[in-house]
Amino acid sequence: MKYRKLSPDGDYVFGGGTADFWKDVPDAPAQAVQTRLQLFQGDWFLDANEGMPWRTQVLGNRTANTRDPAIRSHVLGTQGVTGIAAYSSNLNRDTRAFSGGMTIDTIYGRATVKETL
């Protein structure tokens, strides 16, 4: 699996040739998970069904039973991901912040993914 790296600001990295790509390492599927989690369902003009159902199944009222299963399902649907070894999430109702982290098993080994919204 070959995946273009992202800068700390979330932009594609250019100008470094082959050093600008993750190739056959756990970081490639891990970055794919992160970018897939950041895409809200309905925001991609080519396929409105693609993306994470943040608005309907994760954030908002009465989503306690759908939140974690929706995230896990979306992660497991990512190319190169074979399983989730560890998962945690936290909803801070006072600050209205949601964060999560996981260790994923990939076809290349284990990787860590963190997500904050």
Cα 13 to Cα 63: distance, rounded to the nearest angstrom: 36
pLDDT at position 10, please? 87
pLDDT, tens digit, for every residue of 40-95?
999 999 999 999 999 899 888 889 899 999 999 999 999 999 999 999 999 888 98
Q: Are the C-beta atoms of residues 90 and 100 closer than 8 Å to each other?
A: yes
Q: Is the CATH code 1.10.287 the one for domain 2-116?
A: no
Cα 57 to Cα 41: distance, rounded to the nearest angstrom: 11
pLDDT at position 84, please? 97
Give the pair of three-digit tokens for residue 14.
């250019």
Arithmetic mean of pLDDT over the chain: 92
pLDDT at position 38, please? 92
Q: CA angle, 30 as apex, 99 and 110 as ends, to 5°?
A: 105
φ, ψ (nearest 5 deg) of residue 64: -60, -35
pLDDT at position 6, please? 93
Cα 1 to Cα 14: distance, rounded to the nearest angstrom: 18
What residues have CB less than 8 Å from 40, skipping those under 6 apart? 51, 52, 54, 55
Q: Calculate what percentage of the chain has a pLDDT beyond 70.
A: 98
Q: Assess whether pLDDT exceeds 80 at residue 117.
A: no
Q: What is the pTM of this model?
A: 0.89
